Amino acid sequence: MTLFLHITGPNAQALAAEVEAFFAEVIGTPVERRSLPKDDVIYRSDPLAVAALVLAIPGALVATLDLAQRARLGERIDRLRDRLRGKADSADRVSLSGGAGPDLDLIAAPRDAVIDRLEQTSGDRVQSPSGK
């Protein structure tokens, strides 16, 4: 793989010497110094890369919000499970049914399994067997 490092400015020579020494020490290979031709155009950015970045921002924001919402839901599930564990004895069982898969033990199941089950059935209504 070839890496290119462009150094410009009044201290370019001193900076280049520092960078060359660093890379020679880290990589173990001397750095080859080349100068750019005077008529060579230096692009500050690739227009396609900038467009891709701009198009990726909305999706990244939605994913970040989803992760934050999932974290808040996980904290609420942990608090509920702590309350259930405090009130339940060994004969009690609280399970979540519906959606794909078998019944899910709400007290013993991992947090992510509970969140996944809730997300699968988010449009459905959760019903209590006591009718409340």
User: Is residue 38 in some structural domain?
Assistant: yes
Average pLDDT of span 32-55 = 74
pTM of the model: 0.51
Give the pLDDT confidence score for residue 131 in this predicted structure. 46
Give the pLDDT confidence score for residue 34 in this predicted structure. 72
User: Is residue 25 in some structural domain?
Assistant: yes
Average pLDDT, the chain: 78
User: Is residue 103 in some structural domain?
Assistant: yes
Identity of the highest mean pLDDT range in 19-28, 46-55, 86-95: 46-55
Cα dihedral: 118, 121, 124, 125 (round 10): -20
Count of domains forming the chain = 1
User: Is residue 24 in some structural domain?
Assistant: yes
Give the pLDDT confidence score for residue 132 in this predicted structure. 47
Give the pLDDT confidence score for residue 65 in this predicted structure. 92
Q: Which domain holds residue 98?
A: 3-121
User: Is residue 129 in some structural domain?
Assistant: no
56 pLDDT exceeds 60? yes
User: Is residue 11 in some structural domain?
Assistant: yes
User: Is residue 127 in some structural domain?
Assistant: no
pLDDT in tens, 111-132: 888 888 887 766 555 555 554 4
- With 0-12 / 13-18 / 19 or more C-beta atoms within 10 angstroms meaning exposed / middle / buried, residue 59 is exposed
Give the pLDDT confidence score for residue 17 in this predicted structure. 83
